[in-house]
Amino acid sequence: MMAEEWTLHVSPGAANDPVFVGVGEIPTGKFPDRGFIQALTKVALLALKDAGMVPRDIDTIMLIPNLHGAADQADLVFSRMVEELGIHGTCKSSYMIHSGGSTSDNAVRAAHGLIATGHAQNILVLQCERWGSADLNEMITMLSKNGIPGEWELPSGIQFNAIGAMITRRYMHASGSSAADMASVCVTLRNWANLNENAMYYTKPLTVEQVLASRMVADPLHSYECPPMADGACAFVMTNTANAKKRGITNAVRVAGSGGCVSHYCLSQERDQAVLGWPLAAERAWNQSGWGPQDADIAEIYDSYAAVTTIAIEGIGIAAKGEGARWFAAGNGNPGGKLPTNTNGGLLSAGHTGVGGGTALLVEGIRQLLHRAPDKRQVENCQKAIIGGSGGSYMDAQILLLERTKLGA
Amino acid sequence: MKMPTIVSEFRAGLANGQLLIQNCTDCEQPNMWPRYACPHCQSENLGWRVSGGKGSLHSFCVLRQGAPEGFEEDLPYAIGVVKLDEGVQLAVRLVPDAPGDWESYSCDDRVEFLAVSAEQIEKRPVATFRRVGG
């Protein structure tokens, strides 16, 4: 299918051009004593401080859902954070966006539209997940219902690792990638996590040999190739360019374009598990932005399994068709590599925080473009980033193209 | 809620040893999974045809740990996605070469539907496939 032209109706420097101006994050891992609302409050304040704002400046709160519990979800939906931040009485609206792992990409689209059209001025996007502290069996059972039709596929006993394993096997078959090639993706991510104090595996190095020696969980996936479920929280702030300038902000991050494709609901209906929706999503993103894959300084691509990322970078055109895993094995995504990829360690090494995994990658991309990552992992002169997300049973491929922008005085 | 007819009839087919594919009476396109309206022509005149039961194995996995609740006793088990010759796809269980062993299977293998007992379908309403010549 040929992608159509979709014009972005805002341009760099325009008064209504939406920009990212701050991010907040707390460590990802197992923190059973760190409360849900406590964590949300913390990242909200960190992001606001980073943006040079106070809670009262926020008119719209946009919530990223959690997957660990319905009671906490209800707190999010019914505006608890508005009251916790003390902006009840002035906050215009507070609500949730949800498309699983691609939520952050869709939240950006929603916030971008609200700001550009004037429905919102200063938006705070909040995410918190407590997967690391949740009951593992309960989470496995819960996850066997996400992107899996209860009447048609659940009776097969399918769950999330089985979905990741099938995609991995098809990808390895189509590309001729070896088990060591696939494991090298996990090692690249770990190399980045070793530079990120907020990552679950900050202090633990990893080798290909260790990955291949770990127990087989869902052939062909070893346990070290399955995402570690984690607690985590992050946040970001968006505003319009005129307001950012008024606040004295000189450098920010804007959206150059986006592309997406929902290729299926359940995995059995995907025509090619080694391709998914990435080629069409990428074509749409290039059409809207005028960019190509060669323009990016970093990539932050959803990585709940190695194959999810290798398939994405092939569809995006970062690696040649069939070469995604070998691209990682050659070190291209590493610190100091050709295209630094998933510079926070990704879901596989920073930790899988449910819907938050994609949000953390987005926040890392914004942080890198704002030049606010710690020195040891800040990519020099980082100007352009490709953000990629996917939800459910890899139902969609979502691409955001973000760029650093100078706002002037 | 009562089980929808498209679900109960599909499962009754499996219990009778038949793999049914939904068939649109108007545009004659096959649909899988079965739908409430034809996704090709939006007709609600939908019936069934019996699949030839042959296809290719797009991908599969062997789950060894972490079964969803109620599936623990099945471990290990293999799940596959089959592209039927009729042009539709479905998720299936694969017959092992020997208990716990699916080594002979590869992507794109020719596979065929295997009828199982009504009791088994009652417990696990899912189609079973095996490698052709396996």
Query: In one letter, which amino acid is B81?
Result: V
Is the Cβ of A268 closer than 8 Å to some Cβ of chain B? yes
Task: State residue A2's pLDDT score.
Answer: 61
From B94, which residue of chain A is nearest by alpha-carbon distance?
Answer: A156
What pLDDT is recorded for position A131?
A: 94
Distance between CA atoms of residues A109 and A98, nearest Å: 12
Measured between alpha carbons, how far is A303 from A309 in angstroms, rounded to an integer? 5
- Quote the radius of gyration of chain B (alpha carbons, Å): 16
φ, ψ of residue A234 to 5 degrees: the values are -155, 170
* Candidates B5, B32, B57, B59, partner chain A, best to mutate (most A CBs within 10 A): B59
| Domain B54-131 CATH (choose: 3.40.50, 2.40.50, 1.25.40, 2.60.120) | 2.40.50
Q: Is B107–A170 a contact, with Cβ atoms under 8 angstroms apart? A: yes
What is each CA distance from A186 to A157, A224, A335, A345, in whole angstroms? 27, 8, 14, 9
Residues in chain A: 409
Say if A159 is an interface residue toward chain B (CB within 8 Å).
Answer: yes
User: Distance from CA of residue B63 to its chain's centroid?
Assistant: 17
Of B58, B63, B79, the CB nearest to A170: B58
Give CA–CA dist B2/B16, Å, rounded: 21
Which of these ranges, A60-69, A133-142, A156-165, B33-42, has the smallest mean pLDDT?
A133-142
Which residue did the predictor score with more confidence, B69 or A200?
A: A200
Query: Rounded to a whole number, what is the distance in Å from the CA of A63 to chain B's nearest CA?
Result: 29
Distance CA A156, CA B48 (A): 22
Mean pLDDT of B43-65: 98
Q: Are A324 and A310 in contact (CB under 8 A)?
A: yes
Q: Kindly list the distances between the CA atom of residue A265 and the CA atoms of A128, A153, A163, in Å, as whole numbers in the listed order.
A: 25, 12, 12
Say yes or no to pLDDT of A125 above 60: yes
Angle at A48 between CA A387 and CA A25, to 5 degrees: 50
Tokens of A189: 């991510």
B69 vs A contacts (CB less than 8 Å): 137, 140-141
Interface contact A150, partner B, CB < 8 A: no
Quick one: CA dihedral A158, B123, A264, A101, positive or negative? negative
Res. A10: pLDDT tops 60: yes
pLDDT of residue A409 exceeding 60: no
Pairing of strands B89-94, A60-63: unpaired
Listed in sequence order, the residues at least 6 apart from A71 whose beta carbon sits closer than 8 Å to its beta carbon are none
pLDDT over 70 (residue B80): yes
The reply to whether A151 touches chain B by the CB within 8 Å rule is yes
Which of A137, A268, A305 best probes binding to B when mutated, by most B CB atoms within 10 angstroms?
A268
CA-nearest residue to A144 within chain B is: B68
CB B34 within 8 A of CB B88: no
Q: Do A273 and B68 touch (CB under 8 A)?
A: no
The pLDDT of residue A191: 98
A262 contacts chain B (CB < 8 A)? no
Q: Is A135 on the interface with B (CB under 8 A)?
A: no
Distance in angstroms (rounded) separating the CA atoms of residues A355 and A127 = 8
pLDDT > 70 fraction of chain A, expressed in percent and rounded:
99
What residues of B are in contact with residue A166 (Cβ under 8 Å)?
Answer: 59-61, 79-81
Instruction: Give the number of residues written for chain B.
Output: 134
Interchain contact, A273 vs B93, CB within 8 Å: no
pLDDT, position A6: 86
Buried residues in A76-90 as b, exposed as e (16+ CB within 10 A): beebbbbebbebeee
pLDDT in tens, A230-258: 999 999 999 999 999 999 999 999 999 99
- The C-alpha atoms of residue A192 and residue A52 are separated, in whole angstroms, by 28
- pLDDT tens, residue by residue, A251-300: 999 999 999 999 999 999 999 999 999 999 999 999 999 999 999 999 99
Segments of A67-212 assigned E as strands: 93-96, 123-130
Residue B109: phi and psi, rounded to 5, are -60, 145
- Confidence grade of residue A22 (pLDDT, cut at 50, 70, 90): very high
Q: Are A40 and A126 in contact (CB under 8 A)?
A: yes
Q: Could you tell me what percent of chain A has a pLDDT over 90?
A: 94
Q: b/e per residue, A243-252, with b = 16+ CB within 10 A? A: bbbeeebebb
Is A349 in contact with A265 (CB distance < 8 Å)?
no
User: Closest-CA residue in chain A for B63?
Assistant: A218
| The domain defined by A18-134+230-246 carries CATH number 3.40.47.10 | yes
- Please, is A407 exposed, middle or buried when counting C-beta atoms within 10 Å of its C-beta (0-12, 13-18, 19+)? buried
**pLDDT higher than threshold 70 for residue A3:** no
Tell me the per-residue pLDDT of A348-364, one tens digit each, with 9 for 90 and over: 999 999 999 999 999 99
| Section B57-62 average pLDDT | 98
Tell me which residue in A137, A168, A218 faces B63 most closely, judged by beta carbons.
A218
Q: pLDDT at position B71, please? A: 95
Cis peptide before B76 (omega within 30 of 0): yes
* Chain A residues close to B59, C-beta within 8 Å: 166-167, 169-170, 173, 273
- For an interface test with A, the pick among B10, B19, B36, B79 (most A C-beta atoms closer than 10 Å) comes out as B79
Which secondary-structure segment (H or E) carries A28? strand A18-29
The chain A residue lying nearest B90, using CA atoms, is A268
The residue ranges of DSSP E strands in A67-154, in sequence order, are 93-96, 123-130
Q: Do residues B127 and B67 lie in contact, with contact meaning Cβ atoms separated by under 8 Å?
A: no
Domain boundaries, chain A: 18-134+230-246
For residue A37, the SS3 value is helix
Q: For residue A147, name the pLDDT band (cuts at 50, 70, 90).
A: confident
Q: How close B32 comes to chain A (CA, Å)?
A: 8
Query: In chain B, which residue's Cα lies nearest the Cα of A158?
Result: B79
Q: Which of A151, A153, A273 sits opposite B7 (nearest CB)?
A: A151
User: Region A18-41: what's the mean pLDDT?
Assistant: 98
What's the confidence (pLDDT) of residue A79?
Answer: 97
What mean pLDDT is reported for chain B? 97
Q: What is the pLDDT of residue A45?
A: 98
Q: Are A7 and A108 in contact (CB under 8 A)?
A: no
- Kindly report, residue by residue over A369-395, the tens digit of the pLDDT: 999 999 999 999 999 999 999 999 999
- How many A/B residue pairs have CB atoms within 8 Å? 106
Cα atoms in the 13 Å half-sphere on the side-chain side of A185: 33
CB nearest A157 (choices: B63, B102, B106)? B63
Measured CA to CA, the distance from residue A218 to residue A164 in angstroms comes to: 9
- Mean pLDDT across A172-198: 98
User: Residues of A with CB below 8 A from B126's CB?
Assistant: 155-156
**Residue B134 predicted with pLDDT over 70:** no
Interface predicted TM-score of the whole assembly (ipTM), two decimals? 0.97
Cβ-nearest to B107 among A144, A169, A215: A169
Q: Do A268 and B106 touch (CB under 8 A)?
A: no
**CB–CB of B91 and A218 under 8 A?**
no
Please check the confidence at residue A325 and state whether its pLDDT lies above 80.
yes
CA distance B85 to B111: 10
Q: How confident is the model at residue A137 (pLDDT cuts 50, 70, 90)?
A: confident
Give residue A136's pLDDT. 81
Q: Which helix (H) or strand (E) element contains residue A348?
A: helix A346-349
